[in-house]
Chain A
Amino acid sequence: AQSVTQPDIHITVSEGASLELRCNYSYGATPYLFWYVQSPGQGLQLLLKYFSGDTLVQGIKGFEAEFKRSQSSFNLRKPSVHWSDAAEYFCAVARNNNDMRFGAGTRLTVKP
């Protein structure tokens, strides 16, 4: 079965600094890959997804992610972090919605 690893439990960045959140997956075929964000006390919101095609995917709120098959990675990036980006971020992998596996999450703190 597929699995997802998010190596960083907690990351702190200064407002305006760049951000990269790591995600590694294990899957036998070409996966569907997702990044979700969860604000405190809220449900999950989809930031972006990759199914096929261009390996650099643009999402909402200025986020992007790059699929690297050779590294089994799907890292999330943002060039300049805003205080409102403080949240928990989840990477997920799936064949389809019936079998989606989430990583443990990375909590982002933004320093003023």
Chain B
Amino acid sequence: NAGVTQTPKFQVLKTGQSMTLQCAQDMNHEYMSWYRQDPGMGLRLIHYSVGAGITDQGEVPNGYNVSRSTTEDFPLRLLSAAPSQTSVYFCASSYLAGQETQYFGPGTRLLVL
């Protein structure tokens, strides 16, 4: 049982490039989410999904797209990277939304030049 996995661990992009951050979980969790972590600001919710085919925006969705075609995978897409998107990105999952404990992946560190 690998839990929540994220790839890559580290990525450098140039402004305007696109990329996809991968997130997968093998716990059959319905709820998945993406956060970004910036110094002095804690974690902020970007997008979330309560099940396959259902996604919604969080606190800071601009510049990011998501899709949820399977229960296991929840990729985060940056269509045109900007320096303001330099951050550490965490994916999390839980069995259901609500009171369930969220399990976090190890994070992806992204640098946009």
Whether B42 and A90, one on each chain, are in contact in the complex, defined by CB atoms closer than 8 angstroms, is yes
Contact for A43 among B44, B48, B99, B104, CB less than 8 A: B104
- The segment from A13-21, A73-81, A101-109 found at the interface with B is A101-109
**Residues in A neighbouring B34, C-beta threshold 8 A:** none
* Structural contact, B56 and A51, CB atoms closer than 8 A: no
Query: What's the nearest-Cβ distance from chain B to residue A41, in Å?
Result: 8
**With A and B bound together, what is the CA distance between A97 and B59 in angstroms?**
12
Q: How large is the interface on A (under 10, 10 to 19, 20 to 34, 35 or more residues)?
A: 20 to 34
CB-based contact B33/A97 at 8 Å: yes
Q: Is B4's beta carbon under 8 Å from chain A? A: yes
Among B31, B41, B100, contact of A104 (Cβ-Cβ < 8 Å) = B41
The interface on chain B, measured as residues whose beta carbon lies within 8 A of the other chain's beta carbons, has a size of: 28
Contact of B106 among A4, A42, A105 (CB under 8 A): A42
* 28 residue pairs A–B, Cβ–Cβ below 8 Å: A4-B42, A9-B40, A41-B106, A41-B107, A42-B107, A43-B4, A43-B105, A43-B106, A44-B43, A44-B90, A44-B92, A46-B101, A49-B99, A51-B99, A92-B43, A96-B97, A96-B98, A97-B31, A97-B94, A97-B98, A98-B48, A98-B56, A98-B58, A99-B45, A102-B42, A102-B44, A104-B41, A104-B42
A11-52 contact mask (Cβ, 8 Å, vs B): 1 or 0: 000000000000000000000100010000111111001010
